[in-house]
Structure 1
Amino acid sequence: MDTPLIAVEGTYEEMGAELGRLTGDLVARSVETYLRRFRDKAGLSPADVRRWGLTYLDVARDYDESIAAMLEGLAAGAGQPVEHILALNARTELLDGTDYHDEGCTSLAVLPKYTAEGHTLLAQNWDWHPEQGPVTFLLATRDTEGFAVLTLAEAGMLAKSGLNSAGLGVCANRLRSDRDSAGAGVPYHFLLRGVLQADRMSRAHRKVLDVPRVSSGNLLIADAGGEAIDLEVAPDVFGALLPRDGLLAHSNHFQAALPLVDRKAASSGLTLLRPERVRHLLEDAAAERAVRLDDVVAALRDHYSFPDGVCRHPDPESAPGEECCTVYSVVMDLDARELAIAAASPCSRPYERWGLEEAFKPDAVPDVCFEPGARPAW
């Protein structure tokens, strides 16, 4: 397998502890990477990181007890100070306002009326530093009541793009604004896991909107009920975008009219065009109500304006350590509760498909699909 799968079951503390034990070496590498970046990019001392980590532990306990329990268990299982694990999960907030090069991503959703199978489709390319690829994996969790989640996750963290057993999924896009600041609001990566812990769309909205925030971000949320919404959030304000002609796409700039200054629109590679590029690639199939997952994969492999397109490749002019590329590509069928994933670069790799229930079976292996250069039906 190109992408490891880690599956854990039990109470949230038990799942966190098992996750920590299974990924301890990866967590140590991730902690080392971000502690270095916190120091070099944000000027944070070890004492600063510990202080902020403990602050965000209190935030986690107030926001969602299941998330707090998983993170505390993860720290214990991995043999890491809990404040380091919490700092990892608040890395967006701790690095905000520095010259740190944030991730760029492209997300999209297709409503079921416009797809060949009548299913809700959700997808994302995650663009980030290549060094994080080897410490990223698929995480499957199933609690004692049978509620399950399948999500991409960096070691030491709990969520990114993923889906749950209620048929609800989320994709992530980094945003920055002049409202962002340090503080004790709910970190962006908590919001992503909070959405995946929701058993219906309305609860997902509350987990994102009805909380104090100190950073900006975008969450594209869709469900098997046939709806999708994009939530652009910043401290004290938010905007919502709905599909047009069955399609909804987002990248790394604000599209809603909000009272803020966008700090990424001018600097994030091709962000102003990537959402429309995806629409252009899918609009004919959508007009025929015939979008298939292989159409979505083809859009995610698009190289327009190489190397900064939807399928992003390292720019040879980037400074050492600041290279960015599509680290992972994820496509989801929310009705089927299936997720397919390709590691960097998705244009040259097949995807590996996992069913949510199959992910918990001993010795489970994924189906290989979407070979490069081919457009097979899934």
Structure 2
Amino acid sequence: MATTIDSKITYDHPSVKTVHCGGNPYQIGFIHGQAVSTGIHHNIRTYTSFFAETVQITWGQARERAVAEFTDTLQEKYPEILEEMKGIADGAGAGLTAADILTLNVRSEIALTNYADGCTSISQKAEDGRVFVAQNWDWLEELQQGLVFLHIKPEGSAVEMKFLSEAGIVGKIGMNNAGFGLCSNALRSGAYNQNSFPIHVMSRRLLQYATSVSSALSIIDEFGTASTSNYMLADKSGSHLDIECSPYGNVVILPRDNSVAHTNHLYGPNRPARLVDHPAPNSMTRLARIQELIKKDLENSVPTTFESIRTRFADQEGFPYSICRSRPAGAIGMERMITLSTIMMDMTSCTGRVLIGKPCDELPIVEWSF
């Protein structure tokens, strides 16, 4: 029987394409790769420099490591994602191989055990019962030229996914039509296990197969994460929580007063004794500030809405290392991070709003819905 291919590009944002991908894993990947080939090649150049700065290895050395450490694990536990990566490489062309796309997808395992990005995330149950999950994504300024919105409908599945990603990366921040959504924060720790899922592969697995927070926790327990990362999870039933994941074990942080927040350091209870992170000081100040803003809204009876969440994420106290982050004057290397986007999702209604850029600026809004 012939496979149906669902493919189109829409321009929901003036500078970031929305790529609609359907079909089998290879076809989904090929559509993705062909549609944003320029962005994929740009991101590989960016991470070539990133690897040289953070772990002093070349792209070729990173590729050798990615293939040696993760091919067998993914072939055994998630072979369809390797097929999708092959499709991305073939679609992007210009000599790219599946190994290059695998390397892009394990960029965190290669380098973020040494360096962490920004990001401030929250989940909150509103006064009317709606559940929101949202974040500012802070990362390398150069990646503004390598972003993509992906809307994926796998063949034979009832699940559809919408997420913001880096071109060539198979999973990141978003939601599915089952009413499940996730945000994520990087954590800098040397914990590592090549027999578990790289964190972007885990994000994709969750978006494709989780239908609730509880099923997401089961997936994380089953496959584990190869490096340390944080996920903020929520679903349409009203369940929401945070989970700090590591190869040494996972720690759940439950909401207090209907909300939970996270930045880029470990603070969950009873974490594994040998799990240590090395955050930048601004991670602690951003967490304290977002918690303060949530508390102030509650005290002042400010309704929890897309608008009030955006106002919190637009906060610039502590500039330039604020929740809405700007590039510090004279910054070089990894300190050139800025807030690349704000992603806000209402899981009760399966709707979302995404801003590309800093939420403290006037920006076009991309609307998500199923």
1-side partners of 2:336 and 2:142: how far apart?
Answer: 9
Alignment gaps of 5+ in structure 2:
1-12
**Quick one: structure 1 residues 234 and 320, their matched pair in 2 at CA, closer, same or farther if it must change by over 3 Å?**
closer
Question: Which amino acid is 2:110 matched to?
Answer: L
Question: Which amino acid is 1:106 matched to?
Answer: T
**Quick one: structure 1 residues 186 and 67, their matched pair in 2 at CA, closer, same or farther if it must change by over 3 Å?**
same
Query: What secondary structure sits across from 2:341 in the alignment?
Result: strand
CA deviations over 1:131-167 (Å, ceiling 9, x no partner): 0111012111112233110111001102221000111
Q: Once the 2 structures are TM-superposed, how far is the Cα of residue 261 of structure 1 from its aligned partner?
A: 5.0
Alignment gaps of 5+ in structure 1:
358-378
2-side partners of 1:69 and 1:348: how far apart?
Answer: 39
Aligned residues: 349
Query: What secondary structure sits across from 2:283 in the alignment?
Result: coil
Q: Once the 2 structures are TM-superposed, how far is the Cα of residue 20 of structure 1 from its aligned partner?
A: 0.7
Query: What secondary structure sits across from 2:150 in the alignment?
Result: strand
Q: Which residue of 1 aligns with 2:249?
A: 237
Question: Which amino acid is 1:195 matched to?
Answer: L
1-side partners of 2:60 and 2:366: how far apart?
Answer: 42
Q: Which residue of 2 aligns with 1:138?
A: 149
Is the aligned partner of 1:127 residue 2:138? Answer: yes
- CA contact 2:355–2:366 (8 Å) conserved in 1: no
Is the aligned partner of 1:72 residue 2:86? Answer: yes
Is the aligned partner of 1:104 residue 2:118? Answer: yes
CA deviations over 1:306-343 (Å, ceiling 9, x no partner): 11111011111422564011011111111222221112
2-side partners of 1:53 and 1:177: how far apart?
Answer: 18
Is the aligned partner of 1:48 residue 2:61? Answer: yes
Q: Once the 2 structures are TM-superposed, how far is the Cα of residue 54 of structure 1 from its aligned partner?
A: 2.1
**Quick one: structure 1 residues 163 and 212, their matched pair in 2 at CA, closer, same or farther if it must change by over 3 Å?**
closer
- CA contact 1:93–1:187 (8 Å) conserved in 2: yes
CA deviations over 1:152-210 (Å, ceiling 9, x no partner): 100110222100011100001011224x2474432111111111112233321122222
**Quick one: structure 1 residues 235 and 201, their matched pair in 2 at CA, closer, same or farther if it must change by over 3 Å?**
same
- CA contact 2:351–2:368 (8 Å) conserved in 1: yes
Query: What secondary structure sits across from 1:312 in the alignment?
Result: coil
Question: Which amino acid is 2:163 matched to?
Answer: T
Is the aligned partner of 1:220 residue 2:232? Answer: yes
**Quick one: structure 1 residues 283 and 28, their matched pair in 2 at CA, closer, same or farther if it must change by over 3 Å?**
same
Question: Which amino acid is 1:244 matched to?
Answer: R
Q: Once the 2 structures are TM-superposed, how far is the Cα of residue 14 of structure 1 from its aligned partner?
A: 1.1
Match of residue 104, structure 2, among 78, 88, 91: 88
2-side partners of 1:182 and 1:52: how far apart?
Answer: 13
Question: Which amino acid is 2:292 matched to?
Answer: H
- 1:353-368 equivalence runs, <5 A: 353-357=366-370
Q: Which residue of 1 aligns with 2:286?
A: 274
Deviates more, 1:131-140 or 1:49-58: 49-58
Q: Once the 2 structures are TM-superposed, how far is the Cα of residue 211 of structure 1 from its aligned partner?
A: 2.4
Match of residue 156, structure 1, among 146, 168, 171: 168
- CA contact 2:193–2:247 (8 Å) conserved in 1: no
Question: Which amino acid is 1:297 matched to?
Answer: R
Moved over 6 A (4+): none
Q: Which residue of 2 aligns with 1:22?
A: 35
Query: What secondary structure sits across from 1:237 in the alignment?
Result: coil
- CA contact 1:53–1:82 (8 Å) conserved in 2: no
**Quick one: structure 1 residues 151 and 130, their matched pair in 2 at CA, closer, same or farther if it must change by over 3 Å?**
same
Q: TM-score, normalised by structure 1?
A: 0.86
Q: Which residue of 2 aligns with 1:264?
A: 278
Q: Once the 2 structures are TM-superposed, how far is the Cα of residue 262 of structure 1 from its aligned partner?
A: 3.4
- CA contact 2:199–2:227 (8 Å) conserved in 1: yes
Q: Which residue of 2 aligns with 1:323?
A: 336
Deviates more, 1:164-173 or 1:5-14: 5-14
CA deviations over 1:260-294 (Å, ceiling 9, x no partner): 353333x25x2113233223222354464831221
**Quick one: structure 1 residues 281 and 45, their matched pair in 2 at CA, closer, same or farther if it must change by over 3 Å?**
closer
Question: Which amino acid is 2:165 matched to?
Answer: A
Q: TM-score, normalised by structure 2?
A: 0.88
CA deviations over 1:89-146 (Å, ceiling 9, x no partner): 1001111454xx42110000112xx334x32111100010100111012111112233
Q: Which residue of 1 aligns with 2:6?
A: none
- CA contact 2:213–2:240 (8 Å) conserved in 1: no
Query: What secondary structure sits across from 2:223 in the alignment?
Result: coil
Question: C-alpha root-mean-square deviation of aligned residues, in Å?
Answer: 2.1
1-side partners of 2:42 and 2:188: how far apart?
Answer: 27
**Quick one: structure 1 residues 158 and 343, their matched pair in 2 at CA, closer, same or farther if it must change by over 3 Å?**
same
Question: Which amino acid is 1:87 matched to?
Answer: T
